[in-house]
Amino acid sequence: MPLRLPSLRRRYHPGPAIPTTGPQQPPRTHPLSIPASFLRVVARKRSARSINNVDAPFRIELYLNAGFEQDGEPVYCPGSVIQGNVYLRLDEPICGRDGGSLKGGVVITGKWVVQLIWSSPCCVAENMSNDNGSWPGVHHLPDRYFAIRTFLWGSSKDGEHSIASFIQFASEPATTHWHTSTLYLTDLPKNEFQELSAGTHTFPFTIELPMINYSPTFDNRLFRSAMFLNATLERSYKFAPIQRRVLFHPFVETRTPKAPLLRHLNNPGFAVEAEFISQAYRPGDLITVHLHLVALPRYPVTDVRLRLVRCVKISYSDFSNIDRTIQQNVRLSTIFADLEDPLTVSLRVPSAAVPTVTTGQHLRIEYVLKLTLKTAGVCRPYRAKLEIPVTVGTLPNDVPAPAELKPYRKVPEGAGIERPRFLAQIEYETPLPMYEEERRPPSY
């Protein structure tokens, strides 16, 4: 019997499955709806679905914004207000101050992380370095990103409760410089943070984002850009630090054309005119394409396919990678041969679609709509293809971005750049009674 040697082929980790959908589309939803006034309205006190365990003794909860939701989670934009609570359940009391040193304090931190994940193909899942060791598994890009923090409970060594803001720069992958800027200090009695009693405690916080169009929250096998909230109980070994991701979408305009876009698909078998209602949509919008036969075809069109493809380009220094994935896919099997009866094909933009990004320094996201027609010929089928770029925006149709909005790449460098800030807690008054039509005052 011959001896079988083990295979020496390198094993590669399979990539993510390509999501496709059939003709049945989800119902129309608008998870991200921006009011035209762009007022910085504080979120209603309605808790979002927690990423952490709701029974966890130490967790972060966020309030849902009215009209700013995606799959049960709040979505924030430039100028938004992030409001939530840090919950802490204690079985025994802890001390806050003892002899001028901090013994325990609840700290909330917000930080934007931009990372390039570089690995050899055989160890992508393990975040290991490649063969020459010149690239680490997780590479912090030398780009501006902020980090802010404050004490929700506790005090500094001198008995003052301070709210400080930090700006972080990374000039090299392994070097990080911190610049501290104190916003304000408030003198508090030295015995105010002596002890935190046993039981359940709630620490509210409010963060206001600047009018800067940061990159959207995005995460794939090569690139990660996201804002995280971290809560820490300092000088305590019973509670590990907790983290929660914050969804962010930049302002992207959605321009509606005055007239539909017309494109022609011609070959020896048929001639079809495709009519596109628009080239700009929002998550949850329905993309509709009308097909008209220009002349009687030699063979009827029997196969129509419409796909929404997302193109993600990651670039840093001399490295560049383009990843194309199908976001939606609709295929119709029909007989299209009537000059008087147009054919309509449509698909819906996914509700969780990341908006178009064209100004990012390292991340670029674009969308392409691909239309394919095919006939069932006697010898060989005739085929025609068409591609048009589309924009996935976040603002309502024809609503311009606010004038004070600043692109992320145009923010000036230095310690004085705009950054998120902590706000004083807003005390809610008793809400107005519900409006009743029968109690409406008479009109004259």
**DSSP assigned state of 133:** -
Residues 155-197: pLDDT tens digits?
544 444 433 333 332 222 323 333 333 332 233 344 445 677 8
pLDDT of 385 reads 92
Interacting residues of 248 by C-beta distance below 8 A, sequence separation 6+: 75, 76, 77, 209, 214, 216, 217, 226, 227
Greatest mean pLDDT range, 134-148, 255-269, 410-424: 255-269
Q: Look up residue 34 and give its amino acid.
A: I
* pTM of the full structure: 0.72
On the question of pLDDT at 333 being above 80, the answer is yes
Give the tens place of pLDDT for each residue, 275-316: 999 999 999 999 999 999 988 888 888 899 999 999 999 888
CATH entry, 58-248, from 2.30.30.60, 2.60.40.640, 2.60.40.10, 3.30.390.50: 2.60.40.640
Q: Which two tokens stand for residue 250?
A: 């930049």
Answer yes or no: CATH 3.40.50.12160 is held by domain 261-392. no
- Residue 432: the pLDDT is 56
Residue pLDDT, tens place only, 31-89:
444 443 443 444 345 556 544 457 788 889 888 865 578 878 889 999 999 988 999 88
Q: What is the pLDDT of residue 50?
A: 46
pLDDT above 60 (res 97): no
d(CA 278, CA 99): 68
Q: How far is CA 39 from CA 35, 44, 69, 77, 321, in A?
A: 8, 14, 17, 12, 38
Residue type, position 197, single letter: S
> Going by DSSP bridges, is the β-strand pair 81-90/160-172 parallel, antiparallel, or unpaired?
unpaired
Q: pLDDT digits over 391-424, tens only?
A: 999 999 999 999 999 887 766 655 556 788 888 7
Q: Which of 332, 114, 358 is nearest to 218 (CA)?
A: 114
Beta pairing class for 343-348 and 406-407? unpaired
Look-up: residue for tokens 């923010």?
411
Give the model's pLDDT for residue 78: 92
- Residue 6's pLDDT band, with cuts at 50, 70 and 90, is very low
Average pLDDT of the segment spanning 138-160: 61
The pLDDT assigned to 90 comes to: 87
Q: What are phi and psi of 437, to 5 degrees?
A: -65, -35
DSSP state, residue 397: B
Quote the CA–CA distance of 21 and 36 in Å, as a whole number. Answer: 33
Looking at residue 151, its pLDDT comes to 75
Q: Tell me the DSSP string of 37-95.
A: T---PPPPS-BPPPSS-TT-SEEEEEBPBTTBEETTEEEE-TT-EEEEEEEEEESS-EE
Domain with CATH 2.60.40.640 in the chain: 58-248, 261-392
Instruction: Please give the helix or strand (H or E) that residue 442 lies within, else none.
Output: none
Higher pLDDT: 252 or 12? It is 252
Confidence of residue 340 (pLDDT cuts 50, 70, 90): confident
137 has a pLDDT exceeding 60: no
The candidate with the shortest Cα–Cα distance to 336, out of 296, 388, 396, 308, is: 296
Residue 390, pLDDT score: 96
Poorest-confidence range of 38-52, 117-131, 205-219, 243-257? 117-131
pLDDT the model gives residue 377: 65
d(CA 394, CA 249): 7
- pLDDT of 350: 94
pLDDT of amino acid 96: 58
Amino acid, res. 217: T
**CB-CB contact of 307 with 370 (8 Å):** yes
pLDDT confidence of residue 177: 32
Please tell me the predicted confidence (pLDDT) of residue 185. Answer: 28
Instruction: Give the residue, 166 or 329, on which the prediction is more confident.
Output: 329
| Higher pLDDT, residue 409 or 328 | 328
Q: What is the mean pLDDT of the chain?
A: 71
Unique residue bearing structure tokens 């608008």: 30
